[in-house]
Amino acid sequence: MTKDSYTSTLRAAALELGAELFGVADVRHFLSPEYTGNRPQDFMESARSVIVLGVAVPRGSIESLPKGRAEYTNTLMAGTATLRLIAFRLARRIERDGYRATIVPTEGSEFGYWYADRETLMADMSIKYAAYAAGLGSYGANHLLITDEFGTRIRMTAVVTDAPLGDGGDPSRPFLHEDCKECMRCVAACPAGAFTADGTIDRKKCADYMFHTLGGLRCGLCIQACPK
Ligand code: SF4
Ligand code: SF4
C-alpha cells in the first residue's frame, strides 16, 4: 500500500470511529525554525508522522459561558474521553498493521497529575502546531488553532507513529489567521489578560485563572468571543 492510500485508509477508520477532523503532518515540520517547542522525535526516535484527530465542541456549551462553566468543562472532558477512545483504537489498528504508535495528551493536567511541565506548561509536543503543519488551520490571536471547519471550537489529540503517511501541509497557508488583525475580540474578552494584540502570551496567567480563581473549571471566554 502506498503512503497516500494508507493515509486514506486511516482517515476512513478515524471518521468511522467518530473523529470529525483528521490530518497528517510529517515530523520534519517540527524541525522548522518557526517551531520552538518539544518535538515528537524527542519521545519516539523512530517517529515519522503525526496524525491529528479532532472532535467539535458543542456550541451550546460555549454559548452558556460564563454561567455554564461546569457544563462547559464537563463537555470538554467528554470530548477528551471521546478522543482518547478514537486515538486508542486507531493506534491499535496501526500496530496491527506493523507499525508503532503512541497517543499525545489533550489535557495539560488531569486527574491531579501533569502531562505538561508544571512550571512552563510546555507539553511534550504541540498538537496545535501539528494541526497547523497538517494544513488544518492557522493560529488565532488567542493562540488557539482556528480550523477551517470548526474555528476554535475544536478538541484535538494526536497519534505519533513510525508509519510513513502522506503529509497534509499547505505551504501557502499563513501561520497567523488573516482575519485576526481586524478583530481582536478575544484579547478584550480574556479576564486574566493572558495575551495581547501584539502576540505575546503568558500561559501561567491563563492557568492560574482557571486552576485557582475558577477552582479548576475551564474558562473558554477567548473561544466564546471568536466569530470563527
Ligand atoms: S481560557 Fe480564559 S483566561 Fe485563558 S486565555 Fe482564554 S479567556 Fe483568557
Ligand atoms: S476572536 Fe478575532 S482576533 Fe481572536 S482568534 Fe478569533 S478571529 Fe482572531
99, 45 Cβ separation under 8 angstroms: no
Decide: 134 in ligand 1 pocket, CB within 6 A.
no
Residues in a beta bridge with 52? 23, 158
Decide: 219 in ligand 1 pocket, CB within 6 A.
yes
User: What is the distance in A from the centroid of ligand 2 to the CA of 127?
Assistant: 19
- 25 belongs to a structural domain: yes
- 47 belongs to a structural domain: yes
**Ligand with the closest atom to the CA of 197:** 2
Name the band, by pLDDT with cuts 50, 70 and 90, for residue 120.
Answer: confident
The 10s digit of each residue's pLDDT in 150-163 is 999 999 999 999 99
Q: Which residue has the cell 496545535?
A: 128
Of residues 125 and 108, which shows the higher confidence score? 125
**Ligand with the closest atom to the CA of 62:** 1
Longest alpha-carbon distance in the chain: 52
- 87 belongs to a structural domain: yes
User: What is the distance in A from the centroid of ligand 2 to the CA of 195?
Assistant: 12
69, 218 Cβ separation under 8 angstroms: yes
Number of structural domains (the chain) is: 1
- 207 belongs to a structural domain: no
- 210 belongs to a structural domain: no
DSSP state letters, 24-79: EEEGGGGGSTT--S--HHHH-TT--EEEEEEEEPPHHHHHTTTTTHHHHHHHHHHH
Asked if pLDDT for residue 169 goes beyond 90, the answer is no
Name the band, by pLDDT with cuts 50, 70 and 90, for residue 88.
Answer: very high
Name the band, by pLDDT with cuts 50, 70 and 90, for residue 95.
Answer: very high
Q: Nearest CA to 30 among 42, 21, 20, 15?
A: 42
Residue 187 confidence (pLDDT): 94
Asked if pLDDT for residue 172 goes beyond 90, the answer is no
**Structural domain of residue 21, as residue ranges?**
3-177
Ligand 1, atom nearest to 218 Cα: 1
Residue 217 confidence (pLDDT): 94
- 215 belongs to a structural domain: no
Model confidence, pTM: 0.94
Name the band, by pLDDT with cuts 50, 70 and 90, for residue 19.
Answer: very high
- 46 belongs to a structural domain: yes
For residue 117, what is the DSSP state?
A: -
Residue 109 confidence (pLDDT): 83
Q: In whole angstroms, what is the distance from residue 72 CA to residue 125 CA? A: 25
Q: In whole angstroms, what is the distance from residue 148 CA to residue 116 CA? A: 27
What CATH code is carried by the domain that includes residue 124? 3.40.109
